[in-house]
């Protein structure tokens, strides 16, 4: 089977390497022409994905931001095989899935939204690894939720990536959840590191600091796009956090030990509850 991958950064590059290792033919495309050449030289791709060979792909993965993915799909949908499965690996789902489902229906190919729950704070093809997705959860947004055969097909096609689990969800619910589990965490980490105290952390920081600042180093252009595309959900999560932080601040400012203990206990118990402990 031939796999086409649009975008050869951390995610797309890792997928390309994993598929190549499994013996699949990989055609890759990146807006940086130098990356296209390097992917071929490194063995991660067999050639460059073009309008002329798109039709040969049985699986196409869009590993670029949602707006770019939608634009690529609009420009290339007529050339995609009716037997192909097209998936995006984008960080938000509403924009790209709306476009993908419409074009899939119009041109006869199958479109499925996807979001691999894997990544690192490093970016680019140079940081990609064929092991990136091994054991990771994979979230999919299918066109139908009663098509077991499609789910099995997706699992089989993506088997070289080594995902540990699959779950299906709507695009709307995905974006609500990802605002909390990923986007808010990046906002908090990025804001936290701006404290004047951060410059003096060496010798005074351990696991807590490392955990909270791990995703502070990010790709500003990409994350800004994702934040704005999901702005309604992310704003709501930020508002909830600000309100909660205000409660802690007020308890500390008022030297209210009992109130502070209550807030801390609530947070500790909530952690156990949501993690199923």
204-230 confidence digits (pLDDT tens): 777 899 889 999 998 898 899 999 999
Average pLDDT rounded to a whole number, residues 46-62: 96
CB atoms within 10 A of CB 181: 10
Q: Residue 150: what pLDDT?
A: 94
User: Tokens 């499994």 label which residue?
Assistant: 22
**Mean pLDDT value across the chain:** 94
Is pLDDT at 233 greater than 80 in this prediction? Answer: yes
Length of the chain: 277
Tell me the pLDDT band of 68, cut-offs 50, 70 and 90. very high
> C-alpha angle 96/74/90, rounded to 5°?
25
Average the pLDDT over 63-84 and give the result.
96
d(Cα 139, Cα 125) in Å, to the nearest integer? 23
Write the DSSP string, 57-114: -SEEEE-S-HHHHHHHHHHHGGGS-TT-EEEE--S--HHHHHHHHHHHHHHS-EEEEE
The span from the CA of 63 to the CA of 8, in Å, is 7
pLDDT per position as a tens digit, 132-149 = 999 999 999 999 998 899
Instruction: Please classify residue 84 by burial: count the beta carbons closer than 10 Å to its beta carbon, then call 0-12 exposed, 13-18 middle and 19+ buried.
Output: buried
Question: Using DSSP, how many helices (H) and how many strands (E) does the chain show?
Answer: 11, 8
CA 128 – CA 69 distance, rounded (Å): 20
Does residue 200 have a pLDDT over 90? Answer: no
Q: Give first-to-last CA distance, the chain, whole Å.
A: 43
Query: Does the pLDDT at position 27 exceed 80?
Result: yes
How many CB atoms are located within 10 Å of the residue 81 CB?
A: 17
**Per mean pLDDT, which of 28-42, 208-222, 237-251 is the most reliable?**
237-251
Q: How many CA atoms lie within 13 A of 45 on its CB side?
A: 25
Once rounded to an integer, what is the mean pLDDT over residues 265-271?
A: 96
Q: In terms of CATH architecture, what is 174-274?
A: Orthogonal Bundle (1.10)
Task: Work out the pLDDT band at 56, boundaries 50, 70, 90.
Answer: very high
Residue range 235-251: mean pLDDT, rounded: 98
CATH class of 2-169: alpha beta
pLDDT for residue 195: 93
User: What span, in angstroms and rounded, lies between the C-alpha atoms of 39 and 32?
Assistant: 11
| DSSP code of residue 161 | G
Strands in the chain per DSSP E: 2-6, 25-29, 47-48, 59-62, 85-88, 110-116, 137-141, 165-168
| Domain spans in the chain, listed from the N-terminal domain onward | 2-169, 174-274
**What's the confidence (pLDDT) of residue 277?**
66
Across the chain, which distance is largest between two alpha carbons, in Å?
70
pTM: 0.89
Residues 6+ away with beta carbon under 8 Å from 153: 85
Question: Is there a shared CATH topology between the 2-169 domain and the 174-274 domain?
Answer: no
Whether 169 shows a pLDDT value over 90: the answer reads yes
Q: Which of 56, 61, 71, 2 is nearest to 29 (CA)?
A: 61
Q: pLDDT confidence of 20, banded at 50, 70, 90?
A: very high
H/E segment holding residue 39: helix 33-41
Instruction: Give the bridge partners for 139, in sequence order.
Output: 115, 167
What was the pLDDT predicted at 118? 87
Comparing 200 with 62, the larger pLDDT belongs to 62
């Amino acid at each position: 089977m031939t796999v086409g991958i649009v975008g050869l950064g951390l995610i797309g590059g890792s997928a390309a390497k994993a598929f190549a290792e499994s013996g699949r033919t990989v055609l890759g495309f990146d807006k940086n022409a130098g990356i296209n050449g390097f992917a071929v030289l490194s063995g991660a791709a067999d050639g460059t994905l073009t309008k002329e060979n798109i039709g040969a792909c049985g699986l196409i993965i869009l590993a670029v931001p949602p707006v770019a993915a939608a634009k690529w799909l609009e420009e290339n949908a007529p050339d995609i095989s009716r037997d192909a499965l097209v998936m995006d690996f984008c960080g938000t789902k509403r924009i790209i899935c709306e476009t993908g489902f419409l074009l899939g229906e119009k041109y006869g190919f199958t479109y499925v939204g996807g979001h691999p729950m894997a990544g690192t704070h490093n970016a680019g093809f140079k940081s990609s690894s064929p092991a990136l997705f091994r054991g990771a959860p994979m979230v999919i947004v299918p066109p139908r939720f009663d098509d077991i055969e499609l789910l099995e097909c997706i699992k089989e096609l993506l088997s070289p990536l080594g995902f540990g689990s699959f779950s299906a969800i709507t695009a709307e619910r995905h974006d609500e959840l990802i605002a909390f589990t990923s986007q808010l965490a990046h906002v908090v980490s990025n804001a936290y590191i701006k404290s004047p105290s951060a410059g003096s952390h060496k010798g005074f920081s351990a696991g807590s600091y490392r955990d909270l600042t791990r995703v502070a180093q990010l790709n500003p252009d990409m994350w800004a796009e994702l934040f704005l595309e999901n702005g309604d959900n992310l704003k709501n999560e930020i508002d909830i956090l600000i309100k909660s932080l205000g409660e802690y601040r007020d308890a500390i400012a008022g030297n209210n030990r009992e109130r502070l203990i209550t807030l801390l206990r609530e947070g500790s118990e909530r952690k156990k509850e949501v993690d199923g402990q």
